[in-house]
Each structure stands twice: as C-alpha cells, then as structure tokens.
Homo-oligomer: A and B are copies of this chain.
Amino acid sequence: MNILIIGGGGVVGRKLASALVDRGHLMGRDITKITLADIADPELKAGSVHITGLACDITDPASVSEAITPETDVIYHLAAVVSAHAEEDFEAGMKINLDGTRNILERCRTLGTAPVVVFTSSIAVYGGDVPDPVGEQSFLNPQTSYGMQKAVGELMVNDYSRKGFVDGRAVRLPTISVRPGKPNRAASGFMSSILREPLNGQEAVCPVGEEFLHYYLSPRLCAENLVRTAEIEAGALGMNRVLQMPGRTWSIRQMIDAMTAVAGPDPARLIRWEKDEALLKIVGGWRFDIRADRALGLGLIADDSFEDNIRYYIEDDRG
C-alpha cells in the first residue's frame, strides 16, 4: 500500500502519517510507503514503513504528475490556502484550492489507475440563508471564496468518482482544536490559540465572546477519521461521495471550562478578551449546528467531551 499525502507538512498531514505508521496497514494491506508531499524532511519515526518527503506544487500539473505515479494506491489531498488567506488573495485561492484539486484529479484520470482519493473539504461550504441544522444533504451556500472552492472540489470528486476516474471521498472537516504549533492564517486560528498558548503558559487573545458556538474535532480523531474514510467500502457511499466528518458543538466558555477541569485554573487567566469585528464577520457566518449522521453510520467518530480535546493536546503535542 503506497500512500501519498499532499499537504503532508501541515498539522493534519503529520498526524495522519503518524497514525498510518502506527497502524501499519490500510484497507487490508500492509503500508509499504508513505510520501509526504510539500515538505523536504518529514521527521517521522518510520519503523517498517518507508517515508519520504517530496516538494510538490499542486498548481503545476508536471509537479503533480511527479507526485502521483502508477504505483500510488491512496492519495490524501489536504493541501489548501486557508479561509482568511483565500478571502484576501482571490487568485491564490482559485489557483491552489480549485486548480490544484483539479490537477490532482486530472492526473488520476489520465493515469487510469483509479486510486482512492480522500479530499478534505470544510464546514465553510455551509452558509447564507440555509436553515439549521446543516449536514451532508444541505444546500451548499458558502459565504467565503475558500468555502466556494471547497464546494467545487466536492462536486469534482463526486463526478470523477462517478466516471470511475478515481475512488473519491470528500470529508468536511470540523474546525480542528486544539491544533498544535504556530498560528496559521485561518480565521479559525483563535479557536486553538486561546487554549494552546495558555496551556503553554503564554497569553492569548480571544476575539469573540464566550457565548460563541462552533463545531470542533481534535487532531487525533481527525487523523483517525481520515484513516477510516479511506476504508469505507465504495458501495456504501451510494450516489454521493461527501461526508460531514463528525465533531461536536461547543461554546468558548465550555472549551475554557474543559481546559480548567483538565489543567487547573491558571491557563484561563492568560486569556485576554478583545473583540475583532472584521474576524467576527467571517466566522459569524460559519455554521455550528451541524449533523454528521451518514458519516457516523459509516463508522466515523467524534470526541466524547472537550476535556478529551485538551487531554489529547497535552498527551500528543505539548512540548
């Protein structure tokens, strides 16, 4: 089993690679090789699995052709320009999120090997005047360019799968929290940093009120769900290849209380509250009343409590 993770240098890509290495097999076959495209040095304990890094520019079809070979069995496509970035730089979002995804699917089509392709979409596909709750069969009405580009990716994954060019699956990721590492340009960045920084003894700024609700999943279970997504039988997906990855809806207050329950009262004192109206305009349009019934029925999972999210961060990632 030869696995390519495009966007393998990101938080989810690295977690996924680690989970695959720990597991050693996918879809009933031993994993022999994992390629992390977009970083030179994957820095992973490889064990029996051959892990390589590969520079890859998904906006360049030649670079994509180098990454996806006739030997590639499974492709995880996680690479994207994130929400706030795609909103600021429309052209970058179109090139990377839309053309990049298409280049990957096109390479598979011309190869003719019909690999499994797991594409990470986003809850940013929901929006506008569409009634709650939203989920796998809601009208997609994104109110950001990022969400539009992800929705287009879903439609292409579906059609390329229907035509037999790939065995595709698209999963709409909840917001991942607690994300390790440094802040990125995602508008959702604060949803991790207000926990991560205080858990590391540093100050953090919360740009929304404590009543702000959103839909979350831990990185650990996100990686686990990506493994499970590849293993779903194609026939069980029926006439649509898109799943809502399960998460849970929490308020900022509930998340902070969970941090206090796990790590004591000190971290919460490090949060400064400063509303950011520009950011609220973006995240205020995001949905939090989300249902993932189909994905749950197909074996995907959510965290049991936000205490779990805090514990997983401390166990897996805190320096």
Chain A contact residues, CB within 8 Å of chain B: 90, 109, 127-130, 136-143, 145, 148, 151-152, 155-156, 158-159, 162-163, 238-240
Contacts and interface: CB of A to CB of B under 8 A. Distances in A.
A238 B139 contact: no
A81 to B, nearest CB: 14
Contacts of A158: 141-142, 148
Contact of A238 (B128, B137, B151, B240): B128
Given A129-B238, A239-B127, A151 B145 contact: no
B139 A148 contact: no
Contacts of A145: 159, 163
Contact of A155 (B90, B129, B140, B240): B140
7 contacts: A130-B137, A139-B140, A141-B239, A142-B155, A142-B158, A142-B159, A151-B155
**A-B complex: 10 closest residue pairs judged by Cβ atoms:** A128-B239, A148-B159, A137-B139, A148-B155, A152-B152, A129-B239, A141-B240, A151-B155, A128-B240, A145-B159
Contacts of A140: 139-140, 155
A224 to B, nearest CB: 27
Contact of A156 (B138, B148, B240): B148
A185 B317 CA distance: 58
A148 B137 CA distance: 16
A23 to B, nearest CB: 32
A159 B83 CA distance: 14
A247 B68 CA distance: 46
A138 B139 contact: yes
Interface centre among A138, A156, A159, A240 (most CB of B within 10 A): A159
Contacts of A152: 152, 155-156
Contacts of A143: 162, 239
Contacts of A148: 155-156, 158-159
Given A129-B239, A240-B128, A139 B141 contact: no
Contact of A129 (B138, B151, B240): B240
Given A129-B239, A141-B158, A148-B159, 17 more contacts: A90-B109, A90-B163, A127-B239, A129-B238, A130-B137, A139-B139, A139-B140, A141-B239, A142-B158, A143-B239, A145-B159, A145-B163, A148-B155, A148-B156, A148-B158, A151-B155, A152-B156
